[in-house]
Amino acid sequence: MKKLFPILVVLVLVSTACQLGGGQAQPTPLAVATAFPTNPPAALNPTAQPSGNNQAGGSERTTVDGMTAVFVPAGTFQMGGIDSNAETDEKPVHQVTVRSFWLDKFEVTNGMYVQCVKAGVCPPPQQLKSETRDSYFNNPDFNDYPVVYVTSGDASAYCKWAGRRLPSEAEWERAARGDTINTYPWGDQRPDATLANFNYMLGDTARVGSYPAGASPFGALDMAGNVAEWTNDYYDGNYYANGPATNPTGPLARSQYFGRVVRGGTYADAARDIRTSNRAQVVGSNLQADPGSTEYFGDFSPRIGFRCVSDN
């Protein structure tokens, strides 16, 4: 059964002024940090070395946009819902093998995304606010909070600009689960206020990395709760029964609603919805549609952000 993401999705507004919050007061523009690029980086991270399989899982490096990345070694893992709350689209549980990759340790922040905007590559988020804060994006107080109100196309554009890409659904789950069959990134312990931002405990986003006790086996943070994260895969509720066992990249064709898989759950979700295997779909960008149309943008929300991966 198709499962729509349980959030308030905000549709594309007609005018740019409305998208950017209309006439509300804007914060002082951020200074561009010299450590950030002023032009789009090369297609591949110029400082990166081939991953190989001799790199230790969880090793860290800094990427061209200032993100910390963690290394996820090649491996075979059990993908799908193993716990009692598993839903139909999380089954069957199956073995998947993925190549090694580097994953952003944190969700991409406002402070990082604004550099892509200043470079003229990324559009601003579709709204500059968050769920409860009228001033959020480009506000220095929230530089280290996850960027939200980004479409799947916006997220993909940022990752490309930063020399990376959106993760596949299998890569996302591999990074969150590691070699375990844990229900959550940290294990089987039920979430609480020390492990994740969920169940409206804060009512909005938290600073990235605020829950170190909730780290995944490879050291990635906020993979449960805070904001859900775009992946590159189209959604198909039956894909697990038919997809390849090695480096799956999702269905080749889009679904009827151009659904893209989002993972990780949000600050508004209950414990069962921030499980590692939980899948949801949101209407992604259709860049073949008329620019500026609802179909072109797809959906966006104060509860969806993203992180990127790199092959080398």
Pair type for strands 280-283 and 259-263: antiparallel
Average pLDDT over residues 111-121: 98
130's CB contacts (< 8 A; 6+ apart) are: 136, 142, 145, 148, 204, 205, 302
Which one-letter amino acid corresponds to residue 24? Q
Give the pLDDT band of residue 254 (cuts 50, 70, 90): low
- What pLDDT is stored for residue 23 in this prediction? 35
- What pLDDT is stored for residue 113 in this prediction? 98
- C-alpha to C-alpha distances, 135 to 31, 138, 142, 175, 269, nearest whole angstrom: 17, 8, 9, 32, 23
Question: What CATH fold (topology level) applies to the domain 57-312?
Answer: paralog of FGE (formylglycine-generating enzyme) (3.90.1580)
Average pLDDT over residues 198-206: 98
Are 67 and 104 spatial neighbours (Cβ–Cβ below 8 Å)?
A: yes
pLDDT tens string 72-94 = 999 999 999 999 999 999 999 99
Average pLDDT over residues 7-12: 38
Whether 118 has a pLDDT exceeding 80, the answer reads: yes
- What pLDDT is stored for residue 53 in this prediction? 53
Give the pLDDT band of residue 69 (cuts 50, 70, 90): very high
Alpha-carbon radius of gyration of the chain: 18
Give the pLDDT band of residue 252 (cuts 50, 70, 90): confident
Whether 107 has a pLDDT exceeding 60, the answer reads: yes
Give the pLDDT band of residue 287 (cuts 50, 70, 90): confident
Give the pLDDT band of residue 263 (cuts 50, 70, 90): very high
Which percentage of the chain shows pLDDT scores above 90? 77
- What pLDDT is stored for residue 272 in this prediction? 97
Average pLDDT over residues 176-184: 96
282 phi/psi in degrees, rounded to 5: -135, 150
Whether 210 has a pLDDT exceeding 80, the answer reads: yes
Whether 293 has a pLDDT exceeding 80, the answer reads: yes
pLDDT tens string 31-68 = 323 233 333 333 333 333 444 556 899 999 999 999 99
Whether 168 has a pLDDT exceeding 80, the answer reads: yes
**Could you tell me which residue, 231 or 256, shows the higher pLDDT?**
231
- C-alpha to C-alpha distances, 215 to 4, 212, 242, nearest whole angstrom: 27, 5, 31
Q: Give me the residues paired with residue 102 across strands.
A: 71, 310
Whether 192 has a pLDDT exceeding 60, the answer reads: yes
- What pLDDT is stored for residue 256 in this prediction? 59
Mean pLDDT (the chain, rounded): 85
Domain borders along the chain are 57-312
The helix/strand/coil state of 18 is helix
Whether 13 has a pLDDT exceeding 70, the answer reads: no
Q: Kindly give the residue spans of alpha helices, DSSP state H, lying in the chain.
A: 16-19, 110-118, 152-161, 169-177, 239-242, 294-297
Which percentage of the chain shows pLDDT scores above 70? 81
- What pLDDT is stored for residue 288 in this prediction? 85
Which one-letter amino acid corresponds to residue 15? S
Average pLDDT over residues 9-33: 34
